[in-house]
Amino acid sequence: MIKIKPILPCPSIKEQVSFYESIGFKTIQIYTRPNPYAVVSYGPLELHFYGTKRILPNENPQTCYIEVDDVNRVYEDFTAGLKRHTGNGLML
């Protein structure tokens, strides 16, 4: 099997992990020292994040395309998790 595991920058590992947990991802690992790093998973999908203060989310040029078999189910899972976490119906 071949896997691709994107490693993406984020300004706060704690906030990044919290967001992904809210939409249904499971935390696999979190490191705070010497370099902030986290791994989250959603089924067989893994996303890796490294912490850096040098990047702002609205100026982040990084992207990751993820193809799933049932996009509507994944969308429903993510929005339901976000609604449970935030208490409102914000859409992704």
- In the chain, the number of structural domains is 1
Residue 73 CA to residue 8 CA, distance in Å, equals 25
Q: Is residue 92 part of a domain?
A: no
Q: Give me the CATH number covering residue 20.
A: 3.10.180.10
Q: What is the pLDDT of residue 83?
A: 87
Kindly state whether residue 80 falls inside one of the protein's structural domains.
Answer: yes
Whole domain around residue 66: which residue ranges? Answer: 7-86
Q: What share of the chain is helix, strand, coil (3-state, %, to 5)?
A: 30, 25, 45
The answer to whether position 2 is within a domain reads no
Residue 68 has pLDDT above 80, yes or no: yes
* Cα pseudo-dihedral 78, 84, 47, 8, rounded to 10: 100
The reply to whether 91 falls in a domain is no
Mean pLDDT of 53-78: 84
Q: Is residue 28 within 8 Å of 39, Cβ to Cβ?
A: yes
- Between residues 18 and 65, which one has the greater pLDDT? 18
Confidence grade of residue 66 (pLDDT, cut at 50, 70, 90): confident
> Residue 1 falls within a domain, yes or no?
no
For the segment 38-51, the average pLDDT, to the nearest whole number, is: 94
DSSP 58: G
pLDDT, position 1: 61
Residue 22 confidence (pLDDT) above 60: yes
